[in-house]
Amino acid sequence: MIRFVRGQYAEQDAEGVVVSMGGMGFLVRVSDHTRGTLPAMGSEVTLKTHLAVREDAMDLYGFGDDDERVLFMQLIGVSGIGPRMALAICGLTSPEQLANAIRGGEVATLTQAAGVGKKTAERVILELRDKVGTTGAIAPAPGSGPRGGARDGLVALGFSEAEVDQALAGAEEGLDEESLIRFGLAALGR
């Protein structure tokens, strides 16, 4: 999938920021935290990204660093948390402080995000507390390189992490991301 975008920071609005590259402007939805770290408009910007694919839309979410992207990926893995709510949670503070809040069970911190109530905050803490490392950073998503990208792509298509991990377990080593996605879709019956 699309792992990062680099181009000119062309404009911003309530939906996100526009990164201009190759004669096209890409709308990238960013958290308030990332928005606060962007350079001056007109400067070159690089954003780590996640492409969320739904029936009716493909949305590109951008992050100032890998820590925030990993945190976002962990959040969308929580039952009932979609990309927009995950982005709102990521926007509360830095990834390190947010990880500390999750590890510390700080429900009040998480409920400051738009759309996050007490029960949702408790679910986030319950499901992610064990994934928060001792340094406060969220543990990296399983896999990296082509296998990690294929895993992210299949999860974005609506398959559970467990289904994807089982489907990709039989794939031979050395396949590129696209081949792994095809293999995974075949194993998942699509």
Where do the domains of the chain lie?
4-63, 67-131, 145-187
Structure tokens at 4: 């990062």
What pTM did the predictor assign? 0.69
Domain 67-131 has CATH 3.30.2270.10: no
Domain 145-187 in this protein, CATH class: mainly alpha
Q: What homologous superfamily is domain 4-63 in, according to CATH? A: Nucleic acid-binding proteins (2.40.50.140)
CA triple 65-147-178, angle to 5 deg:
105
Fold agreement (67-131, 145-187): no
pLDDT (mean) for 23-33 = 95
Residue 108 vs residue 167, higher pLDDT: 108
Going by pLDDT thresholds of 50, 70 and 90, the confidence category of residue 144 is: low
pLDDT (mean) for 85-95 = 94
Structure tokens at 81: 């948390």
Going by pLDDT thresholds of 50, 70 and 90, the confidence category of residue 46 is: very high
Q: Is 155 exposed, middle or buried (0-12, 13-18, 19+ CB in 10 A)?
A: buried
Over pLDDT 90: what percentage of the chain? 57
The confidence score (pLDDT) of residue 178 equals 84
